[in-house]
Amino acid sequence: MVRQRVKQRVAQLEYSEFQSAMLDEAKRRRKAAKIIAVLEHFYGPLHGRTVGDVGCSAGFIADELAQAGAKHTLGIDIDVPGLRKAADRFGDRVAFVCGDGTALPFPDNSIDVLVFNHIYEHVVDPDAVVAEMHRVLSDDGVLYLGLGNRLGIMEPHYKLPFLSYLPPALADRYVRAFGRADHYYERFRTRRGLRKMLRAFHVWDYTIPVLATPERFAGGELFPGLLGKVVRAVLAHTPRGVLRLLLPLVPTYLWVATKRARKPIGAHLPQPPERVRPL
């Protein structure tokens, strides 16, 4: 009988040391502007709120959240080098905490706004992290989620098509063959899998609104120039039913989640956010 060796998935420590994108300040601040615009459309201004960025790394998004008026801003990560850089630069307005997302060091119902932006595929147990965020989020609070889709054609970390479609062993061979990494660590889920992961929340989908009206959500870098004008025109006038058919293949979802049912408070949009049907 041949025994197959099973690789145990361990936490990605010191992520900013080998993923240079985490230190791209301009890009991270642009992402933060989009996050804040979505939160303000759904929830209102961050002034006076307690805000936490789960997976903050070098702290650029957390710093933008603080400058947007949050009363208390928390940055949480296991990336010790990233946290050191963040504390050195932004420690006067953000409290950085070295902590595991599966055991957040905060009381129940203590945080008004949480940000979890493109993190779930990197953690060992994303369901446990989501459960912890549900615990610490206040009853009237809001959770922002940037979520990669397994069925997005181009894998975002290694820029290899269909990489996330493959089982782990084949994905490892693929990244090694192109000299991108020793193995493929990330684990993405489909839209259905993400809905299941967030089944304890009420979820609104802002993906299409941000793509259709990027100027409203500081998302102009998504499709710049002439391409952007064409994409915006198409999205703004395409029937919603047609767009829904494309959602399973969208590479990234932008979702807002709450513990209690509530609706966005922002102005009407050509393509408004929609409830995500729970599983």
Query: Per DSSP, what are the bridge partners of residue 137?
Result: 111
pLDDT value for 24: 85
3-state secondary structure the chain: CCCCCCCCCCCCCCHHHHCHHHHCHHHHHHHHHHHHHHHHHHHCCCCCCEEEEECCCCCHHHHHHHHCCCCEEEEEECCHHHHHHHHHHHCCCCEEEECCHHHCCCCCCCEEEEEEECCHHHCCCHHHHHHHHHHHEEEEEEEEEEEEECCCCECCCCCCECHHHCCHHHHHHHHHHCCCCCCCCCCCECHHHHHHHCCCCEEEECHHHHHHCCCCCCCCCCCCHHHHHHHHHHHHHCCHHHHHHHHHHCCEEEEEEECCCCCCCCCCCCCCCEECCCC
CA distance 60 to 33: 11
Instruction: Bin 21: left if φ > 0, else alpha if -120 < ψ < 50, else beta.
Output: alpha
Q: What is the pLDDT along the chain (279 residues), one digit of tens a residue?
A: 333 344 577 877 667 666 777 778 999 999 999 999 999 999 999 999 999 999 999 999 999 999 999 999 999 999 999 999 999 999 999 999 999 999 999 999 999 999 999 999 999 999 999 999 999 999 999 999 999 999 999 999 999 999 999 999 999 999 999 999 999 999 999 999 999 999 999 999 999 999 888 889 986 655 556 656 676 677 777 887 888 888 888 899 999 999 999 999 999 998 999 999 988
Q: 242 is written with which tokens?
A: 């047609």
Q: Please determine, looking at this structure, whether the domain spanning 15-150+188-260 carries the CATH number 3.40.50.150.
A: yes
pLDDT value for 226: 62
pTM, to two decimals: 0.91
Q: Where in the chain is the domain with CATH 3.40.50.150?
A: 15-150+188-260
pLDDT value for 270: 87
